[in-house]
Structure 1
Amino acid sequence: MNPFKTNLYAFIILLSGNAIFAQQAEQSINNQNQLLPSLSQNTIAYSESQKDSSENVAPYNYNMLSLVDSTLVQPNITTYPPATRDYRRLGYNTAMYFGASIVAFGILYAMPESVTNWDKQAMKENGITYKWKQNVKAGPVWDHDDWVLNYVTHPYAGGIYYMTARSSGFNIFESFLYSAFMSTCFWEYGIEAFAEIPSKQDLVVTPVLGSVVGEGFFYAKKSIFKHDKKVLKSKVLGYTCLALIDPFNTLLDGFGYKEKTKAQLNLAPVGFDKGSNKAIWGLNFNMQF
């Protein structure tokens, strides 16, 4: 099979998976809500026989209480998406892009000129910096790259840029701006301009379609997290999907950028009200980072 068609089919399957994961999110929320009442209730056992036997002995009679401490312990969880903007995380991700760009540039440089349309001979004769200045002054132009590069790989790259900001706590518009900045300044007029003139299609397609793809990735990641980072009940598939749709944030989390949160909810009696003949209950919530 043509390798381009193979990549296209894989990309379509990935996008289809986003819709499936997003649809599962509501079901996951409902399931969690159904589990919350499983908090075992404290019981107050009332003994009629004890009441009858004590009525003639003391002027006051109290119910016999069987007090059972009930504790709800949540498993280790990672909050997603973050409640606030995490500029430090975004900064780390952006720095990682610069490192990854060196690898990406090397891969593209090694590919045939028929695929990238890079003039390697001119780059060798005049130097990379000279070529960058020429390309920036000449652009942007309508390129003639293969449609898979323009309309599959570039939207995917835009989606990765978008997810970098979205998973750092930024909203849709802010994530779009980050994707536009990275695709324009970092890639088209940055890394790629060392080899070719900036492309008109890529300047539009990468951030626009990329943000649409990225928002699908966002809902897919939410669903994966709500299913304990599993896809089809598999941790391997779960982490593989996370690495594909949000590689840099997944890598940061893998290195322990943020410790997982431990939450504990305690419900226990703290006293007894003689006037109302009722137990006094207290609620204690602990969170450890």
Structure 2
Amino acid sequence: MSSLSFANNANSDSFSLGGLENLKSQPTELPALPKKVQYQRKSNYYYTYIDREHTFEENINNLAAIYAVTWVVYPLTQPSTVKEKGSLENYRKNFGQLVFDKDEPFWNWFVHPISGSQLFLFYRARGYSRSDALTMSFISSTLFEFTVEIYTEPASVQDLYQTPVLGSVLGLGLEKLSLYLLNTGNVLGKIIGHAINPSTLFWFYEGKVKLIPQVGKDKAGLNVHIDW
């Protein structure tokens, strides 16, 4: 009985080992993961100013664009003055004249600096440095005083410096404030930022930088795209 029992146990052990061998799962090859997996996240915009050099043709085109706008804006913003005082006879008489105007402080210390600030911000949006934007603002303001506003009144000494100089000082403050608000990511901040610096809304603004985050397996980066 011992011999039979041993044989049975042996057969049983042999069966069990064989069954375990058959039940072993074959190794499954997993698909190789790419060494560098890169993810592209939603792009964001960063508002700034990028100074660059300008050709003579670019300067003329920018001055001409502002000059054309002033011929449209002036009668729209002061219709009563244009209607009452405007005439070709006054234009001829006022041409080349320069006087100290007697405008109310509201115009000399508020309206003209505000219009000058937008001139400054326009040229900044076109890629001019701060000093060059001041120069271009001065030229545009002078052209307006001596060739547009004389349709109703002579050129003003105060306006010649208050519009570009005070306007550029105000424009610099608006530039910094608007960039801060536009880059907060806050909707209300962006609305206010565009409102005080409207040039950032238009196609000619050169400081809108597209930021595209790049996230990889072992690194992270930032793709910067600038439209000229």
- TM-score under structure 1 normalisation? 0.54
Structure having the higher Rg: 2
**1:67-86 to 2 correspondences below 5 Å:** 69=37, 71=39, 73=41, 75-82=43-50, 84-85=52-53
1:252 to 202, 208, 224: 202
Deviations 1:147-177 (A, max 9, x none): 1001110111111111111222221210110
1:104 maps onto 2:74 in alignment:
yes
2:212 to 260, 263, 269: 263
Residue 49 of structure 1: aligned partner = none
SS of the residue 2:45 aligns to: coil
Structure 1 residues 91 and 196: alpha-carbon distance in aligned structure 2, compared to 1, 3 A threshold? same
Distance apart, 1:131 and its partner CA: 2.0
Distance apart, 1:193 and its partner CA: 1.2
Structure 2: where are the runs of 5+ without partners? Answer: 1-34
Deviations 1:68-101 (A, max 9, x none): 8464736321442135357769946852652353
Structure 1: where are the runs of 5+ without partners? Answer: 1-66, 112-117, 270-281
Q: Residues of 2 paired with 1:140 and 1:209: CA distance? A: 20
Which residue type is aligned with residue 71 of structure 2?
S
2:154 to 197, 208, 224: 197
Residue 25 of structure 2: aligned partner = none
**1:50-69 to 2 correspondences below 5 Å:** 69=37
Structure 1 residues 161 and 284: alpha-carbon distance in aligned structure 2, compared to 1, 3 A threshold? closer
**1:6-45 to 2 correspondences below 5 Å:** none
Q: Residues of 1 paired with 2:50 and 2:36: CA distance? A: 36
Q: Residues of 2 paired with 1:89 and 1:142: CA distance? A: 30
Q: Residues of 1 paired with 2:114 and 2:139: CA distance? A: 16
Deviations 1:99-135 (A, max 9, x none): 3531332431325xxxxxx7936x4xxx42x322321
Identical columns (%): 21
Deviations 1:262-284 (A, max 9, x none): 52424336xxxxxxxxxxxx777
2:180 to 223, 236, 239: 223
Distance apart, 1:181 and its partner CA: 0.8
Q: Residues of 2 paired with 1:238 and 1:283: CA distance? A: 28
Residue 127 of structure 2: aligned partner = 169
Distance apart, 1:259 and its partner CA: 8.1
Q: Residues of 1 paired with 2:159 and 2:224: CA distance? A: 46
2:191 to 239, 255, 270: 239
Which residue type is aligned with residue 133 of structure 1?
R
Distance apart, 1:216 and its partner CA: 0.4
Distance apart, 1:221 and its partner CA: 1.8
Structure 1 residues 190 and 110: alpha-carbon distance in aligned structure 2, compared to 1, 3 A threshold? same
Aligned residues: 192
Q: CA RMSD in A?
A: 3.8
Which residue type is aligned with residue 200 of structure 2?
T
1:207 to 164, 186, 190: 164
Q: Residues of 1 paired with 2:48 and 2:213: CA distance? A: 19
SS of the residue 1:144 aligns to: coil
Which residue type is aligned with residue 178 of structure 2?
K
- TM-score under structure 2 normalisation? 0.67
SS of the residue 1:261 aligns to: strand
